[in-house]
Amino acid sequence: MVTNDEERPDATPLLSKWIPFLTSCVVHLSFCLILACVYSMGGAGQEGGSIQLALDSSAESVSLSNESFASASLEAETNLPEEPVSEKSVQAMLTSFDVALEANAESDSEESLAEGLRSALSSLNDVESDVMGEGVGTAAAEFYGTELVGNRFVFVIDSSSSMSGERWESLKEELVRCVEGLSPDQRFFVIGFDSECHPMFGEAPPKGSFLRPSKKSIKKLQNWLNGIRLGGQTLPASSLMMALSLKPDAIMLLSDGEISDDSISRLRVLNRKMVSDEEYEIKIPIHTYLLHSAIGYQALETIAEENDGVFTPINLMQQPRRRR
């Protein structure tokens, strides 16, 4: 039987349509494999390096540059904060950093990545500034006119019955005002004394320790001061020893009466570092304050003189009344 040539399908045109597509797939796959091999062998560990591949006779080339990534990394290292802050602060910084990067994640160009890093680091620095500014006070702190020099301070305050009335109210007001004036990097601790030692919040060291002047800690201090029941004698020795154990930059001792224990002799032993047989250095300066009384003048003045401190007699009648 003879078959008509017009009825037989010709497969050549159909095959010719697939040849360019298959060729393109092979070329692109080969390019990707070669690029991956070259990059893994030498390009990944070099900063500022460049990879170029020549493709066919047209000498087309593709260049992958690491220079912008290196500069972005260097800028990131330069702008990072030098010292860590609190856990809350770190979390806030990381959140800000992630948000800034996500805003630039849609574009995959090197310029966009570098700009994203700059934006993220700028946000991080803004957050750090806000965190460091959480403290209440901005001016130099002072206690009854004496400027506080250092970063950690212990206030040893008379809580005996003779302090009742205007003296106690004046002390509470001045103490809170002083703490509010501390900078965010300064810390405070308060110890009351009468016949016994009364550490702040009833927590002796090491459980009780310095606090920064945040709104929360100042409010807690006010509540603690308002809850103190005045009574007993004027015996600050044990409270002074506790204050020394905290190793502050300065101690503020305030009383309105005659000291009736061996505080002076204890400080001569425990707050001195012998340099030679006849010379010594004071470990921690102790400033003393006599609140509207002439009874304890000699003892408080002696403690200040022997411990590199300043003695300040306070006359409540001459003290300006501050409004809170």
Largest CA distance in the chain: 141
Report if residue 148 sits inside a domain: yes
Which pLDDT value is given to residue 246?
97
Q: Which two tokens stand for residue 241?
A: 């020893």
**Domain boundary residue among 132, 167, 187?**
132
156 shares its domain with 302: yes
Which pLDDT value is given to residue 232?
87
227-253 tens-digit pLDDT: 999 988 999 999 999 999 999 999 999
Report if residue 83 sits inside a domain: yes
Report if residue 8 sits inside a domain: no
76 shares its domain with 151: no
295 shares its domain with 204: yes
Report if residue 192 sits inside a domain: yes
Q: Do 159 and 225 meet the contact criterion of CB atoms below 8 Å apart? A: no
Which pLDDT value is given to residue 258?
86
Report if residue 20 sits inside a domain: no
Which pLDDT value is given to residue 80?
43
Report if residue 258 sits inside a domain: yes
Which pLDDT value is given to residue 15?
53
Q: Do 104 and 113 meet the contact criterion of CB atoms below 8 Å apart? A: yes
Tell me the residue length of the chain.
324
190 shares its domain with 286: yes
Asked whether the predicted pLDDT for residue 67 surpasses 70, the reply is no
191 shares its domain with 99: no
Asked whether the predicted pLDDT for residue 309 surpasses 80, the reply is yes
Report if residue 33 sits inside a domain: no
Q: Which amino acid is located at 262 in the chain?
A: D
Top-confidence residue, 304 or 122: 304
Asked whether the predicted pLDDT for residue 181 surpasses 80, the reply is yes
Q: Do 182 and 143 meet the contact criterion of CB atoms below 8 Å apart? A: no
What distances in angstroms separate CA 137 from CA 85, 173, 186, 226, 250, one per listed residue?
18, 15, 10, 22, 19
83 shares its domain with 199: no
d(CA 91, CA 258): 51
Give just the sign of the alpha carbon dihedral 117, 120, 124, 129.
positive
Domain that holds residue 101: 67-132
78 shares its domain with 165: no
176 shares its domain with 305: yes
184-224 tens-digit pLDDT: 999 999 999 999 999 999 999 999 999 999 999 999 999 99
The position carrying tokens 């860590």 is 84
Structural domains counted in the chain: 2
Which pLDDT value is given to residue 116?
53
180 shares its domain with 269: yes
Question: For residue 194, how many C-alpha atoms fall within 13 Å in the half-sphere facing its CB?
Answer: 12
Which pLDDT value is given to residue 47?
43
Pairing of strands 60-65, 142-143: unpaired
Pairing of strands 152-158, 280-282: unpaired
155 shares its domain with 96: no
What distances in angstroms separate CA 106 from CA 64, 109, 117, one per listed residue?
20, 9, 14
CATH number of the domain within which 257 lies: 3.40.50.410
Q: What spatial distance separates the first Cα and last Cα of the chain, rounded to whole Å?
A: 119
**Domain boundary residue among 110, 132, 154?**
132
104 shares its domain with 202: no
Report if residue 118 sits inside a domain: yes
**Domain boundary residue among 108, 132, 156?**
132
The position carrying tokens 């574009």 is 107
Instruction: Kindly tell me the burial class for residue 91, based on how many C-beta atoms sit within 10 Å of its own C-beta (0-12, 13-18, 19 or more).
Output: exposed
Which pLDDT value is given to residue 277?
85
180 shares its domain with 305: yes
Top-confidence residue, 267 or 123: 267
Beta bridge partners of 39: none
H or E segment to which residue 169 belongs = helix 166-180
Top-confidence residue, 42 or 257: 257
Give just the sign of the alpha carbon dihedral 291, 296, 300, 305.
positive
69-111 tens-digit pLDDT: 444 444 444 444 444 444 455 455 445 445 444 544 444 555 5
d(CA 141, CA 181): 5
Q: Which two tokens stand for residue 124?
A: 């991080």
Top-confidence residue, 118 or 181: 181
Best mean pLDDT range from 27-41, 125-139, 141-155: 141-155
